[in-house]
């Protein structure tokens, strides 16, 4: 069974398009798909993190509007009115979560497509809507292909540029492990994943000894989602709490070929916003001489953001830090109803930024679908001109 965060069926003779998302708040205990019928449903699912991960958020937002248009738009409007309506609905969806650039990037590209369609004198509103839906559907397909290319590029780089990779190439007994944070896999994308895609590719090439998944407090994407994917795919994996990362690097030494993380926004200089805790891993990796890599599609590089200082970091509710929620385990097996348990003193102040920024100088490479970008020798920053040349 393939793990699927997003289930989309295009319109056909059998009926209009439909969209369902896997409710990730219920993973790993239950597999429940939730129908998304309109932009309000999509907005809520993204905000509440029923669907999360930078690429998945963008794709769900785009498809949400495709589904809504397919069932509500009657075609009586002019092409210009259809374009205005689509842009206004996209702008609403864009406000659901601020840090991941993929959503803003998708909104920008889709807005441009409908603006171009509406400016052609031959088009009516139905043609504008049709162009929109086709573009949204392409995003779903393209993301899987991009992730597989990221996986292949990252695995090759690891084998050619890390101590463990180079030894492993000639000695199958050499251990080669990867440490990762958050969830960057099938559940965070249209399929396969970015950082987790590299882990999948190494595993498929029989080059991976073990993946270390960091729990990723406070929302536990590592223990709930990444561990779930790794177990599902039979990839040898060990779950650690975030505070154990330094100890595992000290214990494993060069057997850990790299820390590989995803990204929500990469600034023009390479500073990278990703799940809170990523920055600490980068500092630890530098101290232990472990390579630190970011895996992300080119859409995550935000050419309008000069450096990490300009990235808006989402702050979330304090209860995500002070409480844990999950079903009680029934002694005879299985799970009971979800319950919330407090793990903090009532009344304490909480700071809960969902992301942090890792400075470019701590990053060894950025793995994209068109290749791995490295800094020029002696430079503290990245230059992405080469990967955008073909766009
Ligand atoms: O808050 P989340 O779960 O949406 O955060 C997700 C991450 O930080 C991922 O690493 C990032 O979006 C890349 S997913 C391919």
Task: Convert the pLDDT of each residue in 43-75 to its tens digit.
Answer: 999 999 999 999 999 999 999 999 999 988 877
Tell me the per-residue pLDDT of 300-343, one tens digit each, with 9 for 90 and over. 999 999 999 999 999 999 999 999 988 888 888 888 888 899 99
- 122 pLDDT above the threshold of 90: no
Ligand 1 centroid – CA 75 distance (Å)? 37
* Best mutation site among 45, 275, 317 for ligand 1 pocket (most ligand atoms within 8 Å of CB): 275
Q: Which atom of ligand 1 lies at the shortest distance from residue 54's CA?
A: 12
Ligand 1 centroid – CA 299 distance (Å)? 14
Tell me the per-residue pLDDT of 177-218, one tens digit each, with 9 for 90 and over. 999 999 999 999 999 999 999 999 999 999 999 999 999 999
**Tokens 């292909």, residue located:** 145
* Predicted local distance difference test score (pLDDT) of residue 333: 83
User: Could you tell me which of 19, 16, 59, 57 has the C-alpha nearest to residue 38?
Assistant: 19
User: How far is CA 30 from each of CA 27, 49, 163, 306, 327, rounded to the nearest angstrom?
Assistant: 6, 16, 40, 42, 10
Ligand 1 centroid – CA 54 distance (Å)? 5
CA separation for the pair 388, 312 (Å, rounded): 24
Encoded tokens for 144: 């899987």
Encoded tokens for 335: 């799970």
- The residue from 233, 264, 302, 364 that is catalytic is 264
Ligand 1 centroid – CA 273 distance (Å)? 10
Q: Percent of the chain at pLDDT above 90?
A: 91
* Best mutation site among 229, 262, 367 for ligand 1 pocket (most ligand atoms within 8 Å of CB): 262
CB-based burial of residue 186 (10 Å sphere; 0-12 exposed, 13-18 middle, 19+ buried)?
buried
* Best mutation site among 221, 273, 300 for ligand 1 pocket (most ligand atoms within 8 Å of CB): 221
* Predicted local distance difference test score (pLDDT) of residue 389: 83
Ligand 1 centroid – CA 136 distance (Å)? 21
Ligand 1 centroid – CA 116 distance (Å)? 32
* Predicted local distance difference test score (pLDDT) of residue 380: 96
Q: Which residues contact 21 (CB under 8 A, 6 or more apart)?
A: 5, 6, 7, 33, 34, 36, 45, 50, 51, 60
Q: Which atom of ligand 1 lies at the shortest distance from residue 185's CA?
A: 15
In the chain, the largest separation of any two C-alpha atoms, in whole Å, equals 68
* Predicted local distance difference test score (pLDDT) of residue 334: 81
Ligand 1 centroid – CA 377 distance (Å)? 30
DSSP alpha helix (H) spans, the chain: 39-47, 54-72, 79-94, 101-119, 125-161, 163-170, 195-204, 227-232, 245-252, 278-288, 319-322, 385-388
**Tokens 């000290």, residue located:** 250
CA separation for the pair 75, 235 (Å, rounded): 49
Q: Which residues contact 41 (CB under 8 A, 6 or more apart)?
A: 34, 35, 64
Tell me the per-residue pLDDT of 1-14, one tens digit each, with 9 for 90 and over. 779 999 999 999 99
CA separation for the pair 146, 148 (Å, rounded): 6
Q: Which atom of ligand 1 lies at the shortest distance from residue 181's CA?
A: 10
State the ipTM, two decimals: 0.99
Ligand 1 centroid – CA 53 distance (Å)? 4
> Are 82 and 125 contacting, i.e. CB atoms less than 8 angstroms apart?
yes
Q: Which atom of ligand 1 lies at the shortest distance from residue 274's CA?
A: 8
Displacement of CA 245 from its chain's centroid (Å): 21
Query: Would you give the end-to-end CA distance of the chain in angstroms?
Result: 34
Tell me the per-residue pLDDT of 270-308, one tens digit each, with 9 for 90 and over. 999 999 999 999 999 999 999 999 999 999 999 999 999
Q: Which atom of ligand 1 lies at the shortest distance from residue 195's CA?
A: 15
Tell me the per-residue pLDDT of 127-161, one tens digit each, with 9 for 90 and over. 999 999 999 999 999 999 999 999 999 999 999 99
Residue 264 annotated to the active site: yes
Closest residue CA from atom 15 of ligand 1? 184
* Best mutation site among 186, 192, 263 for ligand 1 pocket (most ligand atoms within 8 Å of CB): 263
Q: State pTM to two decimals.
A: 0.96
Q: Which atom of ligand 1 lies at the shortest distance from residue 194's CA?
A: 15
* Predicted local distance difference test score (pLDDT) of residue 278: 98
**Ligand 1 pocket by Cβ (under 6 Å):** 52-55, 100, 182, 184, 188-189, 194, 221, 262-264, 274-275, 354
- Sequence length of the chain is 391
* Predicted local distance difference test score (pLDDT) of residue 141: 95
**DSSP structure class, residue 226:** I
* Predicted local distance difference test score (pLDDT) of residue 260: 99
* Predicted local distance difference test score (pLDDT) of residue 244: 98
Tell me the per-residue pLDDT of 75-91, one tens digit each, with 9 for 90 and over. 778 999 999 999 999 99
Encoded tokens for 223: 């223990």
CA separation for the pair 256, 189 (Å, rounded): 25
């Amino acid at each position: 069974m393939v793990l699927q965060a997003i289930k989309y069926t295009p319109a056909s003779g059998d009926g209009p398009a439909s969209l369902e998302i896997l409710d990730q708040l219920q993973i790993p205990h239950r597999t429940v798909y939730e129908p998304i019928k309109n932009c309000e449903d999509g907005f809520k699912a993204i905000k509440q993190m029923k669907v999360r991960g930078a690429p998945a958020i963008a794709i769900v937002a785009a498809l949400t509007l495709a589904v809504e248009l397919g069932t509500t738009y009657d075609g009586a409007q002019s092409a210009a009115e259809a374009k205005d309506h689509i842009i206004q609905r996209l702008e609403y969806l864009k406000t659901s979560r601020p840090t991941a650039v993929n959503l803003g990037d998708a909104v920008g590209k889709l807005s441009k497509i409908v603006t171009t369609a509406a400016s052609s004198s031959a088009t009516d509103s139905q043609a504008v809507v049709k162009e929109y839906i086709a573009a949204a559907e392409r995003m779903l397909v393209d993301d899987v292909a991009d992730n597989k290319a990221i996986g292949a590029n990252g695995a090759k780089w690891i084998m050619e540029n890390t101590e463990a990779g180079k030894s492993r190439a000639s000695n199958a007994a050499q251990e080669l492990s990867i440490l990762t944070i958050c969830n960057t896999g099938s559940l965070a994308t249209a399929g396969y994943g970015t950082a987790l895609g590299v882990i999948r590719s190494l595993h498929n090439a029989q080059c991976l000894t073990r993946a270390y998944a960091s729990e990723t407090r406070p929302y536990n994407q590592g223990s709930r989602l990444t561990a779930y994917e790794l177990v599902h795919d039979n990839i040898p994996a060990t779950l650690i709490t975030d505070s154990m990362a330094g100890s595992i690097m000290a214990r494993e030494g060069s057997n850990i070929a790299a820390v590989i993380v995803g990204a929500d926004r990469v600034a023009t200089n390479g500073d990278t916003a990703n799940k809170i805790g990523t920055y600490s891993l980068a500092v630890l990796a530098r101290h232990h001489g472990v390579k630190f890599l970011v895996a992300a599609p080119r859409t995550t590089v935000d050419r309008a953001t000069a450096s990490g200082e300009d990235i808006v970091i989402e702050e979330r509710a304090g209860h995500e830090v002070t409480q844990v929620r999950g079903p009680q385990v029934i002694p005879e097996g299985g799970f009971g109803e979800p319950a919330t348990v407090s793990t903090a003193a009532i009344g304490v102040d909480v700071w809960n930024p969902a992301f942090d920024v890792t400075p470019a100088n701590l990053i060894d490479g950025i793995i994209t679908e068109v290749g791995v970008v490295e800094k020029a020798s002696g430079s503290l920053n990245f230059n992405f001109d080469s990967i955008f040349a073909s766009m």
